[in-house]
Amino acid sequence: MSSIDWKEGRFQSKGAMRSVKRIGDMAGVFSDATAWQSMDQQMLVYSVEWEQRAEPGLEGGLFWGATIIQPGKVGEEYFMTRGHFHMRRDRGEYYTTVQGIGMLVLRDDRATWTEVMSPGSLHYIPGQTAHRTVNTGESPLIFWACWPSDAGHDYATIEKDFFSIRVVNQDGALGIA
Q: Which is nearer to ligand F6R, 39 or 129 (CB)?
A: 129
State the minimum distance, in angstroms, from the CB of residue 31 to ligand F6R: 17
State the minimum distance, in angstroms, from the CB of residue 172 to ligand F6R: 27
Grouping H, G, I as helix, E, B as strand and the rest as coil, residue 52 is coil
Q: At a CB cut-off of 8 Å and minimum separation 6, what does 75 contact?
A: 30, 31, 32, 34, 35, 36
Q: At a CB cut-off of 8 Å and minimum separation 6, what does 51 contact?
A: 2, 11, 15, 16, 17, 63, 64, 65
d(CA 37, CA 86): 29
Site for Zn ion in 84-123 (CB under 5 A): 93
Q: At a CB cut-off of 8 Å and minimum separation 6, what does 170 contact?
A: 76, 177
Give residues in contact with ligand F6R (CB under 6 A): 48, 65, 67, 81-84, 93, 131, 133, 145, 147, 151, 153
State the minimum distance, in angstroms, from the CB of residue 20 to ligand F6R: 11
State the minimum distance, in angstroms, from the CB of residue 48 to ligand F6R: 5
Selection from ligand F6R, Zn ion, none that 74 binds (CB < 5 to 8 A by kind) is: none
Distance from CA of residue 148 to its chain's centroid? Answer: 16
Selection from Zn ion, ligand F6R, none that 67 binds (CB < 5 to 8 A by kind) is: ligand F6R
Q: Which is nearer to ligand F6R, 157 or 170 (CB)?
A: 157
How many residues lie near Zn ion (CB under 5 A)? 1
State the minimum distance, in angstroms, from the CB of residue 171 to Zn ion: 33
Number of H helices, E strands in the chain: 1, 15
The residue at minimum Cβ distance from Zn ion is 93
d(CA 58, CA 46): 27
Q: Which is nearer to ligand F6R, 75 or 152 (CB)?
A: 152
Which residues contact Zn ion by CB under 5 A? Answer: 93
